[in-house]
Structure 1
């Protein structure tokens, strides 16, 4: 190995490690129903908590009094039973958050596969190609996730959505979403840096006639 390659810094294994934190945070926040929660000071007839796909109530009814349907317990947000209060629950901003965070989640799944390939990578040329795809994938995932958490953070606990807004607050699932999105950005940057390092190593070998372990000039 040349002196250049010996002293060239590397982000390994920080990139995969931070991405693992990001992925776990995003998965838990995607599946858990605590993006917004009630403080528990109200006795009945109110919203309890909601995530992207599940919402919980206690003896709740349509606050416009158009229907007599009572909601008590937890429901899937896309359930047919929710059609009575769909205009109250699935506001445009909330649907936007669902869509963008789903994109973020899906791209994170792809990033997990790419990270697994990197860990088991058979060679430097292949590794560079995977690193390039991985950092692009994570940057796009971060962008979708960033939009989702910004929109929900700005509008999730305002007075125009869930009833008794003054008793509602952003909860731990939302906090995990923020942690996941930030960590995903950091992981994307580290993958990009590692890709640049590998490119510089390849360029150095080509310019200085460095031979690989297989005895062939790269």
Structure 2
């Protein structure tokens, strides 16, 4: 009996690849967009417009630098902007412990999702069976860890992002679509991790079956 290499990957494996691609796209979009928290469009006089992990946009944020000088910030700026006078006050306001936690954990989530994308690319190239099982194992471990970091990030931001102790005019702010994409992306990452684990278990069972029954593949004889 001969088993063509392309038939080794099951439906679970193809779905794992599809879910991870979707997850990585959503996680990447949410990582670099500025709509995690947004002010109501009809709420006039609010200081904030929208907030991302790395860029903030303000309608008119007032910073009292000293008794003689007041600065107004309008428009979008990178959080770590070193050139805008007085922006260190905004940075201090933004860099609360919960927001730094979200930034760090979601960055880990994104980085590991990127590693998972490289592993997915290797799997699509269909390497040898032994190597493929090793990559599958690395992939599901990587994606489970990525999911864990992303899960912590979205839970913390969902609980703290629109509370009254952070951004001004909190009662006119709401979680927006970048955060929604992050949540969906993290969920898809978990599904992909589970499917990669299922695919790994299936391939392990197939290998055991081939060894016990002397099944051949197009890549050579089984090690029986």
* Cα deviations by residue, 1:114-144 (Å, 9 ceiling, x for unpaired): 0011000222111101100011000000000
Tell me if structure 2 keeps the 8 A contact 1:132–1:195. yes
4+ runs deviating over 6 angstroms: 63-66
RMSD, matched Cα: 2.1
Q: Where does residue 196 of structure 1 map in the other structure? A: 201
Residue aligning to 2:20: 19
Residue correspondence of structure 1 range 160-199 to structure 2 within 5 A:
160-199=165-204
The count of corresponding residues between Structure 1 and Structure 2 is 215
Taking the aligned partners of 1:16 and 1:211, their CA distance within structure 2 comes to 27
User: Residue 131 of structure 1 aligns to a residue in which SS?
Assistant: helix
Name the structure 1 match of 2:137.
132
8 Å contact kept, 2:2–2:216:
no
Point out the structure with the larger strand share. 2
Shift of 1:89: 1.3
In 2: Cα distance, 1:215 partner to 1:53 partner: 52
Q: 1:10, 1:197 within 8 Å by CA — same for their partners in 2? A: no
Whole-Å Cα distance in 2 between the matches of residues 45 and 176 of structure 1? 25
Identify if the C-alpha distance between structure 1 residues 215 and 23 changes in structure 2 by more than 3 Å, giving closer, same or farther. closer
Once the two structures are overlaid, the 10-residue window that deviates more, 55-64 or 70-79, is 55-64
Is contact 2:40–2:173 with CA below 8 Å preserved after alignment? yes
Measure, in 1, the Cα distance between the counterparts of 2:42 and 2:219.
70
Change (3 A) 1:31 1:212: same
**Contact 2:20-2:188 at 8 Å conserved across structures:** yes
Match of 2:99 among 79, 82, 94: 94
**Unmatched 5+ stretches in structure 2:** none
2:159 aligns with 154
Shift of 1:63: 7.3
Contact 1:34 1:51 (8 Å CA) reproduced? yes
Give the deviation of 1:184 after TM superposition.
0.2
